[in-house]
Amino acid sequence: MSSTPTTEQVNAALATVQDPEIHRPITDLDMVKSVEIADGGVVNVGIYLTVAGCPMKGRIESDVTNAVSKVAGVTGVNVELDVMSDEQRKALQTKLKGGQEDKEIPFAKPNSLTKVYAVASGKGGVGKSSVTVNLAAAMADLGHKVGVVDADIYGHSVPRMLGVSGHPTKVEDMIMPPTSHGIKVISVGMFTQGNQPVVWRGPMLHRALQQFLSDVFWGDLDILLMDLPPGTGDIAISVAQLLPSAEILVVTTPQQAAAEVAERAGAISGQTHQRVAGVIENMSYFVTPGTGERTHLFGEGGGQRVADGLTQSLGAQVPLLGQVPLDMRLRESSDEGQPLVLSEPSTDASQVLSGIAGDLVGKPRGLSGMQLGVTPIGGGR
C-alpha cells in the first residue's frame, strides 16, 4: 500500500520546476498559488502565470505535472492556472531586480562580472552577425551564461540566425527575453510587424538600446555580445555612453577596402576610451574540397593590417584573434537557425570560431580578487 504524499514532498518537487523565461524555480518566484492533496493521492496544484496569455503556459503546466507525478504516492495531478495580480507582478519585479526600484543597466555597475563585447565592422556584408551568433553559441556550449543584443537596428538578423521562435514577455515594465540554444536574445525585430523597416533617428535609437540593457531581465550573465550596425554611427556612440567598459571586437574581411573601413570602426575607441579586444578576419580563404588547397578569394592580410593599424593608432596591442575560412555551411546554418559551431563543430570554420570564443571568455568567473565586504567581529588586533 503506497503512502499518501505530503505537502512538503510536493513543494520540494515544485522547487525543481523552473520558469522557462526567468530560469528560476517557480517556488522562489511565488508562482505556486496552492497545493491540495485529495484522497487517493490526487494532487491539485494552483499556479500563477506572470501574465495572461503567457506563451509558456503549456510548458509550465507540463513541467509541473511531470515533477509532481514523480512524488511517491501521487496517483494523479491537476494543474489550475491563474494570473498574478498587478501587486504580485510588481513584487516579482522588485525581487528579480534585487530590491532595486529604479531602472539601471546592470552591466554598467562597477561590480558587474559580465564581460561585454560590442561586435563592430566598418561596412556591411563581412559576416559580422554570423560571427556574433557563432561566438555566442560556442560560449554557451562551453557552459557560460550568454546573452545577445541585436543592436543592428536597420539590419537585424540575429533572431533568425539563432532560430529564435519565441517572443519577449512583458512583466510590468520588465521584458523577459526568449532563449535559443541556451542564449538569451533581444532584438528590435521582435517589436516590429513582419519585415517592416525601422525608421528611427538618433534619440530613438539611443532609447531603444537603453531599454534593451535596462528593461530586459538578463539574469546573471557571464557574457553579453552586442551586434552593432556597420560603421561609427549613433549606436556605436550610445554603446560607449551606456557601457563604457564594453570591449570592441572588429570583424573584417581580407580585402584592402574592407580593412581600411574596419580600421576606422575600431579607431572610434580612441575617442570613446574603450578597449579593442581584437580583430576577427572572416572569409579569409576557401578550402577546395578534396584537395585542401586554400584559395584567397578576397585577398590576404586585411585582418592583420587592421590589427597592426589599430595597435599603432591606439597605442595598445590589438591582436588578430583568428581567421575564419569561407564556408557555405556557415551561411546555410545561419539561415536554418543552427549555428555551425553546434551543428558541425568539426569544420575548420567552427574550430576557429570556437577557439576565438574560448580565448574571449578566458577562465570561468570566480571570487578571486573580489571584495566581499566582510568585516571582522570583535575588532581583531
Residue 46 has pLDDT above 60, yes or no: yes
pLDDT digits (tens, 9 = 90+) for 112-136: 889 999 998 877 788 889 999 999 9
Q: Known binder of ligand: residue 127? A: yes
Q: Smallest Cα–Cα separation from 22: which of 172, 223, 224, 216?
A: 216
Asked if the domains at 7-96 and 106-361 fall in one CATH topology, the answer is: no
CA gap 104, 96 in Å, rounded: 13
**Which pLDDT band holds residue 369 (cuts at 50, 70, 90)?**
very low
What is the predicted pLDDT for the residue at 192? 64
CA gap 157, 130 in Å, rounded: 9
Residue 236 has pLDDT above 80, yes or no: no
Q: Known binder of ligand: residue 121? A: no
Q: What is the pTM of this model?
A: 0.73
pLDDT digits (tens, 9 = 90+) for 318-346: 999 999 999 989 889 988 999 999 999 99
What is the predicted pLDDT for the residue at 370? 40
pLDDT digits (tens, 9 = 90+) for 190-226: 776 655 555 454 566 677 788 888 888 888 899 999 9
CA gap 340, 68 in Å, rounded: 38
Is residue 290 exposed (0-12), middle (13-18) or buried (19+ Cβ within 10 Å)?
A: exposed
Q: Poorest-confidence range of 22-26, 32-36, 139-143, 234-238?
A: 234-238
CA gap 82, 46 in Å, rounded: 7
CA gap 352, 337 in Å, rounded: 20
Q: Known binder of ligand: residue 122? A: yes
Neighbours of 60 (CB within 10 A): 23
Q: Known binder of ligand: residue 125? A: yes
Q: Which of 49-53, 58-62, 144-148, 333-337 has the highest mean pLDDT?
A: 144-148
User: 120 forms bridges with which residues in the sheet?
Assistant: 250
**Which pLDDT band holds residue 289 (cuts at 50, 70, 90)?**
confident
Q: Known binder of ligand: residue 373? A: no
Q: Known binder of ligand: residue 309? A: no
- The CATH class given to the 7-96 domain equals alpha beta
Q: Known binder of ligand: residue 233? A: no
pLDDT digits (tens, 9 = 90+) for 66-106: 999 999 989 999 999 998 887 888 788 777 766 555 568 88
Strand bridging mode 42-49 / 146-150: unpaired
CATH topology of domain 106-361: Rossmann fold (3.40.50)
Average pLDDT, the chain: 83
* Domain spans of the chain, in order of start: 7-96, 106-361
Q: Known binder of ligand: residue 123? A: yes
pLDDT digits (tens, 9 = 90+) for 221-233: 999 999 988 766 6
At 81, give phi and psi (nearest 5°).
-95, 135
Neighbours of 201 (CB within 10 A): 8
Question: Which residues, 6+ apart, have CB-to-CB distance to 179 below 8 Å?
Answer: 20, 21, 23, 166, 185
